[in-house]
């Protein structure tokens, strides 16, 4: 009899836990003088890093630990995508960004970045492949950052297909700060290549001796956000500063963004890195964040689900654990709002879905894919 009572108790506890979990799948929060429902599309993700949207309404989500997941539109089904190349998942490295080709519906092509190992350490690599169901086919490495180093931080790794069809790859300097000024390697630069990995002849340094031809800009610390401005077509990007001095920039051909010659931050030890925050020949940021927000993920909002946000720029914050909304007048940031800090989760990625909703990824060992919905569509 006691055994039956114990079984009933366990069943009740399990049902209670299930109901509790369902109750937490939606959370109503306020921002911009409105209320929004934060819907958990998928939970228990292992440090998710990036999300891409498939034509059937499902999601591709990378986990830093090295898994690529296909998650159904309603979040109820997840499948592991097979065929990834070896991923060196260590510290800040692992499987990182993922995007679909503009012609994905017909060519099924995706691009993804990851940290790969070698005799000298690890480095960022980019691959392209065709997605066939839950299998990657014709996987080909189209870019390898040189050199590989023992450091396991500052991989950068955001990807973007520019309006001209070229693939942009952001790279960190692997914590070897002075190498961001050395154009003889790829560290601390933005790379511009054709989708097949070849070098466009109009890159800025193709005819410059001693400079790697893939480099489009340099002097970066660690870029983890890149997005195309919907009106101007300009490429915006942000990067991590040291202790202070996170930057928001516009990408310019051949430009030097200054790290570590100029910075608004200091070293984590308190040591002064540079006494200058500006210098001739150095591209200045549009804004900088001090204290740091540790920006990651970025998108311009262009949809109609939140009319009051149209044209705004959204940036995820890791260290301050919020979504940041930037209101713009041209290239001037006129207002900033910290949103959804009540989640108390690091925001790793923010993307606008084809359905017009904003989606977030939270960076933790039980991370989540979230969708922001207006709590009352008639508001």
E-state strands within 145-263? 159-161, 167-170, 189-193, 215-218, 223-228, 235-239, 246-250
Structural domain contains residue 202: yes
Structural domain contains residue 277: yes
pLDDT in the model for residue 26: 86
pLDDT at residue 5 above 50? no
Structural domain contains residue 106: no
Interval 115-170: pLDDT, tens: 999 999 999 999 999 999 999 999 999 999 999 999 999 999 999 999 999 999 99
356 against 16, higher pLDDT? 356
Domains: count for the chain: 1
Determine phi and psi for 71, rounding to 5 degrees: -115, 130
Interval 199-236: pLDDT, tens: 999 999 999 999 999 999 999 999 999 999 999 999 99
- Using DSSP's 3-state secondary structure scheme, residue 32 falls into coil
> pLDDT-derived band of residue 23, with 50, 70 and 90 as boundaries?
very low
Q: How many residues does the chain have?
A: 379
Structural domain contains residue 143: no
In this structure, what CATH number is given to the domain that contains residue 193? 2.120.10.30
pLDDT at residue 42 above 80? yes
CA 132 to chain centre: 24
pLDDT in the model for residue 148: 98
pLDDT at residue 250 above 90? yes
Structural domain contains residue 278: yes
| 322 CB neighbour count, 10 Å cutoff | 23
pLDDT at residue 15 above 60? no
pLDDT in the model for residue 119: 96
Measuring CA to CA, which residue among 362, 298, 46, 64 is closest to residue 159? 298
Structural domain contains residue 1: no
Contact between 155 and 171 (Cβ < 8 Å)? yes
> pLDDT-derived band of residue 62, with 50, 70 and 90 as boundaries?
very high
pLDDT in the model for residue 375: 85
Structural domain contains residue 146: no
- Using DSSP's 3-state secondary structure scheme, residue 8 falls into helix
Residue 231 has what DSSP assignment? Answer: T
> pLDDT-derived band of residue 1, with 50, 70 and 90 as boundaries?
very low
pLDDT at residue 8 above 50? no
Contact between 216 and 230 (Cβ < 8 Å)? no
pLDDT in the model for residue 33: 80
Interval 282-333: pLDDT, tens: 999 999 999 999 999 999 999 999 999 999 999 999 999 999 999 999 999 9
Catalytic: which of 154, 186, 238, 288?
Answer: 154
pLDDT at residue 2 above 70? no
> pLDDT-derived band of residue 25, with 50, 70 and 90 as boundaries?
confident
Q: Is 322 one of the catalytic residues?
A: no
Structural domain contains residue 119: no
- Using DSSP's 3-state secondary structure scheme, residue 277 falls into coil
Could you tell me the residue range of the domain that residue 177 belongs to?
27-72+89-97+151-374
Measuring CA to CA, which residue among 257, 247, 179 is closest to residue 212? 179
pLDDT at residue 189 above 80? yes
Determine phi and psi for 215, rounding to 5 degrees: -70, 130
pLDDT in the model for residue 30: 81
The answer to whether the peptide bond before residue 32 is cis (omega within 30 degrees of 0) is no
Q: Which helix (H) or strand (E) holds 4?
A: helix 2-23
User: With pLDDT > 70 as the criterion, what percentage of the chain qualifies?
Assistant: 93
Interval 69-97: pLDDT, tens: 999 999 999 999 999 999 999 999 999 99
**What is the b/e burial string over 44-72, where b = at least 16 CB atoms within 10 angstroms of the residue's CB?**
ebbbbbbbbbbeeebbbbbbbebbbbbbb
User: With pLDDT > 90 as the criterion, what percentage of the chain qualifies?
Assistant: 90
First to last CA, the chain: 56
CA 140 to chain centre: 22
CA pair distance 305, 70, nearest whole angstrom: 25
């Amino acid at each position: 009899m006691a055994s039956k009572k114990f079984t009933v108790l366990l069943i009740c506890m399990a049902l209670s836990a299930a109901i509790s979990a369902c109750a937490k799948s939606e959370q109503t929060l306020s921002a911009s003088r409105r209320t929004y429902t934060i819907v958990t599309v998928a939970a228990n993700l292992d440090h998710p890093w990036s999300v891409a949207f498939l034509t059937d309404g499902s999601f591709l989500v990378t986990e830093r630990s090295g898994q690529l997941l296909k998650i159904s539109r309603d979040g109820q089904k997840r499948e592991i995508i097979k065929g990834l190349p070896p991923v060196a998942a260590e510290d800040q490295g692992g499987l990182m960004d993922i995007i679909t080709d503009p012609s994905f519906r017909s060519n099924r092509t995706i691009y993804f970045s990851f940290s790969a190992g070698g005799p000298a350490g690890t480095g960022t690599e980019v691959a392209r492949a065709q997605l066939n169901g839950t299998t990657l086919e014709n996987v080909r490495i189209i870019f390898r950052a040189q050199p590989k180093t023992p450091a396991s931080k500052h991989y950068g790794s955001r990807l973007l297909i520019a309006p001209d069809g070229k693939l942009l790859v952001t790279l960190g300097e692997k914590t070897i700060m002075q190498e961001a000024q050395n154009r003889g390697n790829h560290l601390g630069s933005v790379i511009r290549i054709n989708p097949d990995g070849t070098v466009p002849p109009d890159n800025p340094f193709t005819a410059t001796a001693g400079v790697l031809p893939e480099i489009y800009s340099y002097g970066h610390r660690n870029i983890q956000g890149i997005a195309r401005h919907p009106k101007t077509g300009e490429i915006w990007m942000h990067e991590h500063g040291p202790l202070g001095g996170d930057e928001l920039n516009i990408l310019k051909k051949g430009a030097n963004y200054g790290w570590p010659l100029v910075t608004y931050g200091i070293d984590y030890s308190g040591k002064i890195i540079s006494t200058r925050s500006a210098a001739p020949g150095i591209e200045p940021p549009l804004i900088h964040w001090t204290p740091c927000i540790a920006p990651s993920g970025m998108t311009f909002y262009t949809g109609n689900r939140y009319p009051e946000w149209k044209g705004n720029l959204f940036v995820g914050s890791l260290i301050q654990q919020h979504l940041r909304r930037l209101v713009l007048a041209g290239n001037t940031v006129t207002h900033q709002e910290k949103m959804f800090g009540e989640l108390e989760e690091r925001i790793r990625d923010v993307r606008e879905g084809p359905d017009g909703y904003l989606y977030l990824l939270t960076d933790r060992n039980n991370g989540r894919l979230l969708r922001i919905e207006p709590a009352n569509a008639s508001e």
